Amino acid sequence: MAILKLEPAFKEYIWGGDKLMKDYHKHYEGKVLAESWELSCHVDGSSRIAAGPFKGKSLQEYIDWEGKKVLGSHCAAFDNFPVLIKFIDARENLSIQVHPNDEYALNEEGQYGKTEMWYVADCVKDAYLYYGFSREISKDELKQRIQDETILEVLNKVPVKKGDVFFIEAGTLHAIGKGIVIAEIQQNSNVTYRIYDYGRKGADGKKRDLHIEKALAVTNRSPKVCTDGFEPHLGSCKYFTVDKLTLDGRVMKEMSGEVDGSTFVHMLVVEGSGVIQNGEEVPFTKGDSLLITASTGRFGVSGNCQALITTIP
């Protein structure tokens, strides 16, 4: 089994910025980089193996060659690779959107829905995001406010700081505000229903599509309650579990663990640098994405860093 450093798939959207290139060491030739898909087997963008005998191969090609045993027995419950992990750099406000649950998405889109978790990796002063509604509203009022473009008036506007965590169940209306870098752990899906986009136009000069009827069908119109993630355990659902690793390089400067045959372990480095070892040593720095395959056994991490650790429950 192995410790694999991954290279992401890149997404250039109109609201993106340059922080992923400047601060998270993403090697991208464009000027605007909105998202880097760090752990992905999705057809819309797959991560790749960065080094070793499989260098340049997609993650899916690696899995096909080595067999699904590298993912662990817990992944047998899923038809496809269960998660998609990404960095998001919002230079501008993202659209107000919602994701469907599995049942609706499978019926309407032929793929799974999306529940996700956000970790605020960085943000400017006075940054905020939208997370559900400030009060319960009817379906008729929601439809009218979408048509009148007054939807922002009834959304729950939440100030954010670095390290904040938001668990976003399917059906929750949400949007990332400008000046925020998010680490997102989500179901392996790319289904999004957009209901408000500030009147922006895409590269073709046309306003981006809205998906109002589908959004009305799946949106939970009750207010959401914000709850803080308690470190080191940040969040869990049937699709993924996320914990935070913090090493200060002084008192807590190393950690050891063991990866059995039940699940792979993914490590997304959000601050600092260090080394992960399992017979071999793999150095890492801020922005790196590392996959520890199932049954790798004992491993150790040392350095001064913060990382998000994702497993499959």
* Catalytic residue positions, numbered: 194
Q: Which amino acid is at 52?
A: G
Give the residue from 300, 244, 246 showing the smallest Cα distance to 276.
300
How far apart CA 183 and CA 169 sit, in angstroms, is 16
Using DSSP's 3-state secondary structure scheme, residue 67 falls into: coil
Is there a cis peptide before residue 159, judged by omega within 30 degrees of 0? no
Inter-residue contact 2 to 52 (CB < 8 Å): yes
Cβ partners under 8 Å of residue 150, min gap 6: none
Give the residue from 135, 119, 108 showing the smallest Cα distance to 38.
119
Inter-residue contact 287 to 19 (CB < 8 Å): no
How far apart CA 11 and CA 9 sit, in angstroms, is 7
How far apart CA 100 and CA 170 sit, in angstroms, is 5
Give the sheet arrangement for strand 35-39, strand by strand. Answer: 9-11, 35-39, 83-90, 180-187, 116-123, 165-168
Inter-residue contact 8 to 1 (CB < 8 Å): no
Beta bridge partners of 292: 3, 265
CA distances from 54 to 50, 60, 63, 106 (A): 8, 11, 11, 33
